[in-house]
Amino acid sequence: MLRKNYTVLHREKHCNAKIKDKLCFSALIVLFTLFSSCSKDDTKEQEVIVTVQTEDKTFTIDENPTENQLIGTVPGTTNQGSVTFSIMEQTPVGAFSIDAETGQLYVDKTSIYDFETNTSITGKVKVENGTISKESTIIITINDVDEDIFIGSIELRSQQEVDEFGPMNYREITGDLIIGYDEDSETPISDLSSLKTIEAIGGTFWVTKTTVLKSLEGLNNIVYAYKCVISSNTEMDDISALQGIMVNNFINVSNNPKITSLGVFSNIETLESGVRISGNNSLTSLQGFNNLISTGGGVGITHNENLNNVFDLNSLTTIGGRLDISDNFNLINLNGLSNLQTVQSDVWLMDNEHLFDINGLQNLTSFNGEMIINRCDNLQNVDGLIGLTSIERLQLYNCDSLQNLDGVANLTSVDAVTIVYNDSLNDFCGLTNLLNNSFSGSYSVYENLFNPTIEDMLNENCSN
């Protein structure tokens, strides 16, 4: 019985051992399978699928662009690294180029961008990263523009250049029009008739340093210029072709020895900046500025040998800068300035040898600057300053005929007084009101016929 039981027990242990072995083997297989699966999954997770993104794009551009003008940028991205751009096709051929790194499109052949020939340009661009790529369809729409408008500025320095530009029949120039002298030119400008279609100049209209041009005939249709400069034209005697021109900002007519009239500017009432009339030795009047009311900047009337009056400034009420009337040998008075009320800066009257009186300034009450009268040898008094109550500085020099200062009797506020080298000046009583009004500024009086000190003036010793 014991033997039998032992045998049974032994068999059971043997069977249990076998079962354990099988279970261990099975577990090993399962673990190996799981490990293999995880390894494969890890490999799959490490593999990155490269993608490239782009999209179709439409651009617009005005006709007649410049070479290499930027059209726009083709979009292109990737999730790994960077993309490059290349042209696959374009119609017409040669219309645009592309930057391989940025995708920026540029104008190639400018002649293609003519609305009358092509209203649009098409093409395809490849955006790629290695072997992965996408295509972008490109459409460039060309805008029709008014081709009688010249965009920018143009310089015409010879008759040949004038004759080449004229037949293009531009009506408007958005920038400057410069007509002038070139010392290297074999054909100096003598005729502007080919420029007859020009009507407006968005920048400055210059006619400068011409040597044989006598008139501006040919420019008869110009009705507007932002600024107008006519300077240093040795033979020009007629600018009447510009009759009625409107100028918005600034007028400069200078160093034209033969010009006799400025009547072309008669429509101008205001200027954003100012006006300069200088060095025109045949000019006798300022006819043409009779409607000018105000300027945002200065007014300079200088070095005009034969100018004898400023009657035609009779509408002028406001000067936004300096008033400079100097070196006009034959000017005898300032009567045309009788309506002038405001000057924002200085008033200079210098080297006007025949200026007899300045009564035209009688309505000026104050200005933010200095009053300089220098070398006006025929000036006997300053009665035209009778309206002045306040200025920064009063300076009177070298006026040999000046005898008294009665014209400044109403001055109550001045920072500095300088009165020197006036050979006939012996009456300073016009300064009494100023000096009795707690005057604390500088006072320089010497080399006159009489030279009172402040103490003299306060003691009523004001004349000799």
The pLDDT of 242-258, averaged and rounded, is 98
Same domain flag for 224 and 115: no
Which residues touch 311 (CB under 8 Å, ≥6 apart)?
A: 285, 286, 335, 336
**pLDDT tens, residue by residue, 291-313:** 999 999 999 999 999 999 999 99
Same domain flag for 127 and 175: no
Nearest by Cα to 410 from 451, 365, 462, 458 = 365
Same domain flag for 60 and 111: yes
**pLDDT tens, residue by residue, 313-326:** 999 999 999 999 99
Q: How far is CA 305 from CA 182, 229, 372, in A?
A: 29, 20, 20
* Res 462: pLDDT: 98
* Res 295: pLDDT: 99
442, part of any domain: no
pLDDT tier, 138 (very low <50, low <70, confident <90, very high otherwise):
very high
188, part of any domain: yes
Same domain flag for 86 and 172: no
326, part of any domain: no
The pLDDT of 415-427, averaged and rounded, is 98
198, part of any domain: yes
Same domain flag for 124 and 174: no
- pLDDT exceeds cutoff 70 at 116: yes
205, part of any domain: yes
Q: Which of 10-19, 147-156, 166-175, 231-240 has the lowest mean pLDDT?
A: 10-19
Fill in the DSSP letter of residue 361.
G
Range of the domain at 130: 52-143
* Res 366: pLDDT: 85
Same domain flag for 92 and 65: yes
| Final residue before a domain boundary, out of 143, 173, 206 | 143
44, part of any domain: no
Own/partner long-range contacts of 112-121 (Cβ < 8 Å, ≥24 apart): 113/61, 113/63, 113/64, 113/65, 113/142, 114/63, 114/64, 114/142, 115/63, 115/142, 115/143, 115/144, 115/145, 118/92, 118/142, 121/90, 121/91, 121/92, 121/95, 121/96
**pLDDT tens, residue by residue, 360-369:** 999 999 888 9
| Final residue before a domain boundary, out of 244, 268, 292 | 268
| Final residue before a domain boundary, out of 143, 164, 182 | 143
Q: Using omega within 30 degrees of 0 as the cis cutoff, is the peptide bond preceding 75 cis?
A: no
Same domain flag for 107 and 185: no
* Res 179: pLDDT: 98
The pLDDT of 218-227, averaged and rounded, is 98
- pLDDT exceeds cutoff 80 at 231: yes
Q: Are 282 and 307 in contact (CB under 8 A)?
A: no
* Res 181: pLDDT: 84
Same domain flag for 134 and 209: no
pLDDT tier, 157 (very low <50, low <70, confident <90, very high otherwise):
very high
CATH number for the domain including 97? 2.60.40.60
424, part of any domain: no
* Res 293: pLDDT: 98
The pLDDT of 266-289, averaged and rounded, is 98
> In the chain, how many domains are there?
2
CA angle 337, 448, 461 (to 5 degrees): 95
Which residues touch 264 (CB under 8 Å, ≥6 apart)?
A: 239, 240, 241, 242, 243, 244, 245, 288
* Res 20: pLDDT: 53
Same domain flag for 78 and 131: yes
Q: pTM of the prediction? A: 0.73
Fill in the DSSP letter of residue 386.
T
Structure-token match 């004038």, residue found: 162
**pLDDT tens, residue by residue, 35-81:** 455 444 454 556 789 999 999 999 999 998 999 999 999 999 999 99
Token pair for 118 = 């092509």
The pLDDT of 143-155, averaged and rounded, is 91
pLDDT tier, 238 (very low <50, low <70, confident <90, very high otherwise):
very high
* Res 176: pLDDT: 98
Higher pLDDT among residues 419 and 14, named by residue: 419
Separation CA 72–CA 60 (nearest Å): 9
The pLDDT of 263-290, averaged and rounded, is 98
* Res 185: pLDDT: 77
439, part of any domain: no
